[in-house]
Structure 1
Amino acid sequence: MFTNKKMTVMIASFLALVLLLVGCSDKNNEATEKEVEQSEPAVEETATERTVTDAMGHEVIIPANPQRIIASYLEDNLVALGITPVAQWSVKEGASIQTYLQEYLKDVPTIPHDLPFEVVTSFTPDLLLMEAAQAVEGSKYEQYAKIAPTYVVKVENNSDWRDKLLTVGEVLGKTDEAKQVLADYDKKASEAKQIIQDTVGTESAAAIWLVSNNFYIVSENVSSGAVLYGDLGLTTPNVVKEISSTATANWSAISLERLAELDADHIFLINSDIGNGAEMLKDPLWSNIPAVKNGRIYEYGAETSWLYAGAIANSQIIEDVVESMTK
């Protein structure tokens, strides 16, 4: 017979063995659970179709993760959001493109700016983004909608580039990315504004475009004018203010005689006539414009971003202005 002492020892040993076995089992279970967790792929949220309403009131079904997007003349917005379109805007059978974007679009085929139906169809797009209502006037919208879901971004052509970017971001499910692009741009503009003010203060400037022996001047609140006066805080010349008050386009025709009255300390000249002799620049009236006489004229080609608007275009304009005015 077992004594009480021996019985106690045996019971204690048995309990210790049970606890040891339970502990090992728990550890094995934990290890197994971890292995299972590691072997199972992470569950990701999958994109789904969404129905949205465009600027013209069309209800548009946006496909999940569209891969073949055509967004003629909205490519700046796509690139800023990290998206490559399946075709890019062009005129004259691809002779003229948005050269300033070719760092990102060099391998993307061109498509005529007026988007012929048969050419659009050939790209088998899964989403069409139209810049403005003019692109789908008449019965065009119905024709495009038969090819792919078609979303009109804005009603008017000369709408604010920031609004366009936010709209495109919303349509493509990239609202946060669009907001970050704007935040980064505003930071860059603010820093550039301070550099310019530290160098030349708030002197005045104007952007002038010479093409086919005709001059055009940018309006105050659009295109490069919005960059010069709104983002960088340069003073708007009186001539620019007067023309902007009745302007209906980004760039307004201006005579050489009117340019002679331009009260701008600095002129940014976008010269599309470089290869044509630029005869207007040889006229004495041009030579007598104060900014020209004082050597404060900065010339850029038509291939630069000065004729466009968008986060990328405007960022490049800012870089040009800082380089020109602070050297």
Structure 2
Amino acid sequence: MYKKLLAIPVTAVFLLLAACGANGPGGQAAGDPAAKPTRSIQYLGNTYKIPARTKQIAFVESRSSFEDALLTGIPPFAATVEKSGAFPQEYAAITQNTQKLPADIADHVGDLAALGPDTILTSDKTSEEKRSKLESAASVIPISSNGAHWEDNLRLLAEVRGKDANVDAIVSKVRTNTEKTRDKLAPLKDKIVLTAWFHEGAFLVYPKNERYNYLLYTDLGLATPSVVEQAKEPVPLSLAELAQADPDYLFVMVDKSSDPDAAKSFEQLKQQPEWSNLRVVQSGQVYENAVNPGLAGGTAYSNQSFLNALSARLLK
């Protein structure tokens, strides 16, 4: 064996030894992400393993994470873009240096892996198939769309990054403002306040724990409309169905970023007699884009914006 080694050029021997030394226990390459030190974090009853030092956080289909990033000052190093190929304008302050990822990045996960993400935050609405693909690039944590979990989501981002980010102060401010608004809205507790997103000619109403609904009907204690109570997923309402819901106050979000023709379509709809005949229209209690229509809703950032809108319009 010794004679055979001597027959190999010296440079080749060094290369052979270097290759052997580059592998850790079990033959695993030292540069392999799996070889990095890890830590465990708890989120909504589940345990996730992430790198001990997490700096490069990617957002994939997680709009709410942008809003938590705004408040904590923890920008994503990469994130999926809108259909327009750009990031939502609402989040410009924390996406100036963010790498743009196509919406279908899960189908090109090798491109994402090449960027070296430490952790990927996605949505609980993201399919299991997509999540499975993303897991080949880095640890994946699905962010809850349930409005009850806004604080958990905020704390998660700070914990993943390993920063304090003044989360306690942020949470305290939102909770204090919520309690103050709840007290002021007490005289309206039996009134029907409905939020809807005008999309492709219909009014989308969300389940009671999504978007602003948890804030309205749980945190603020307002009456839950039956159409919201019954919704298991986003429900499109026609004008006739909206008339049947008969809200006392209607907040309509017309988001051109998700539906470029939404504004024009809504203006046309408002010319119809069925719209003019709605009780809420006749009483002047329809509020269009009282908050930025592109906000996720159900986050600390969105909730604070909506609390301000409620105070300005319902507590005149």
TM over 0.5: yes
Q: Distance in 1 between matches of 2:48 and 2:295?
A: 35
The 3 A distance-change label for structure 1 pair 119 and 185 is: farther
Superposition misfits of 4+ residues, deviation over 6 angstroms: 53-58
Q: Where does residue 14 of structure 1 map in the other structure?
A: none
Secondary structure of 1:76's match? helix
Instruction: Establish whether residue 244 from structure 1 lines up as the match of residue 232 from structure 2.
Output: no
The 3 A distance-change label for structure 1 pair 317 and 109 is: farther
Give the alignment partner of residue 276 of structure 2, picking from 277, 287, 312. Answer: 287
Q: Distance in 2 between matches of 1:98 and 1:302?
A: 15
The 3 A distance-change label for structure 1 pair 108 and 325 is: farther
Once the two structures are superposed, what CA deviation does each residue of 1:236-266 show, in whole Å capped at 9, x if it has no partner? 3xxx32x3344222x3111211111223221
Once the two structures are superposed, what CA deviation does each residue of 1:144-192 show, in whole Å capped at 9, x if it has no partner? 34433x13235x7557432333444444445785444322211121223
Q: Where does residue 76 of structure 1 map in the other structure?
A: 67
Q: Distance in 2 between matches of 1:244 and 1:255?
A: 15
Instruction: Establish whether residue 229 from structure 1 lines up as the match of residue 217 from structure 2.
Output: yes
The one-letter amino acid paired with 1:84 is P
Deviation at 1:84, TM superposition (A): 0.9
Instruction: Establish whether residue 117 from structure 1 lines up as the match of residue 109 from structure 2.
Output: yes
Q: Where does residue 101 of structure 1 map in the other structure?
A: 91
The one-letter amino acid paired with 1:217 is V
Once the two structures are superposed, what CA deviation does each residue of 1:42-88 show, in whole Å capped at 9, x if it has no partner? xxxxxx84134777977523232x22210231222233332111123
Q: Where does residue 256 of structure 1 map in the other structure?
A: 239
Contact 1:89 1:98 in 2 (8 A): no
Superposition pairs for residues 103-252 of structure 1, below 5 Å?
103-115=93-105, 116-121=108-113, 123-132=115-124, 134-137=126-129, 141=132, 143-148=133-138, 150-153=139-142, 158=146, 160-162=148-150, 163-174=152-163, 177-197=166-186, 203-236=191-224, 240-241=225-226, 243-249=227-233, 251-252=234-235
Q: Distance in 1 between matches of 2:43 and 2:291?
A: 32
Q: Distance in 1 between matches of 2:290 and 2:99?
A: 23
Deviation at 1:296, TM superposition (A): 0.8
Deviation at 1:106, TM superposition (A): 4.7
The 3 A distance-change label for structure 1 pair 196 and 108 is: farther
Q: Where does residue 309 of structure 1 map in the other structure?
A: 298
The 3 A distance-change label for structure 1 pair 99 and 53 is: same
The 3 A distance-change label for structure 1 pair 322 and 56 is: closer
Structure 1, unpaired ranges of 5+: 1-47
Deviation at 1:307, TM superposition (A): 4.6
Q: Where does residue 307 of structure 2 map in the other structure?
A: 318
The one-letter amino acid paired with 1:264 is P
Pair member with larger Rg:
1
Deviation at 1:114, TM superposition (A): 3.8
Between 50-59 and 223-232, report the one with greater CA deviation: 50-59
- Equivalent pairs, count: 268
Query: Over the residues paired in the alignment, what is the CA RMSD in angstroms?
Result: 3.3
Once the two structures are superposed, what CA deviation does each residue of 1:12-41 show, in whole Å capped at 9, x if it has no partner? xxxxxxxxxxxxxxxxxxxxxxxxxxxxxx
Deviation at 1:267, TM superposition (A): 0.8
The 3 A distance-change label for structure 1 pair 278 and 308 is: same
Instruction: Establish whether residue 60 from structure 1 lines up as the match of residue 49 from structure 2.
Output: yes
Q: Where does residue 28 of structure 1 map in the other structure?
A: none
Q: Where does residue 35 of structure 1 map in the other structure?
A: none
Q: Where does residue 17 of structure 1 map in the other structure?
A: none
The 3 A distance-change label for structure 1 pair 206 and 61 is: closer
The 3 A distance-change label for structure 1 pair 168 and 320 is: same
The one-letter amino acid paired with 1:215 is F
Q: Distance in 2 between matches of 1:133 and 1:256?
A: 28
- Percent identity over paired residues: 20
Q: Distance in 2 between matches of 1:98 and 1:210?
A: 18
The one-letter amino acid paired with 1:111 is L
Deviation at 1:113, TM superposition (A): 3.5
Structure 2, unpaired ranges of 5+: 1-36, 256-261
